[in-house]
Amino acid sequence: MSKPLVDRIPFAKIVAVLAVAFGLGVGLCGLDFFLGSHGIGKNTQEFGVGPIDALSLIVMVFSAIGLAIATIFWVVMAAVASFSRKNSEPQRLLDEKQDEDSKD
């Protein structure tokens, strides 16, 4: 029998990549603010979205939405998988043989 869906999808990797992308978007936004405050790339009379603003905004929005969806999906799939497990016995960290050896 194949693994459950929650075990086949690498949720942790997806969340990590989306979190890094969100951080890059915030960094690009900060870079644009820093450059704009020093008069690089924009005039003081200019107001609006520049090329770095647009890129950082797009990256932040899509990664934030993806991060929220992936996290919610991860939690739901983990909850469904925990209810559908057939073996309700708790997992043991040590084998019984190791337990007996440590008693001696």
Weakest mean pLDDT among 13-22, 26-35, 59-68? 26-35
* DSSP assignment of 39-92: TSSS-SS--S--HHHHHHHHHHHHHHHHHHHHHHHHHHHHHHHHHH-S--SPPP
Task: Give pLDDT, residue 54.
Answer: 78
Q: What is the pLDDT of residues 40-84, one digit of tens each?
A: 666 555 555 567 677 888 889 999 999 999 999 988 888 887 777
Q: Which residues contact 99 (CB under 8 A, 6 or more apart)?
A: none
pTM: 0.64
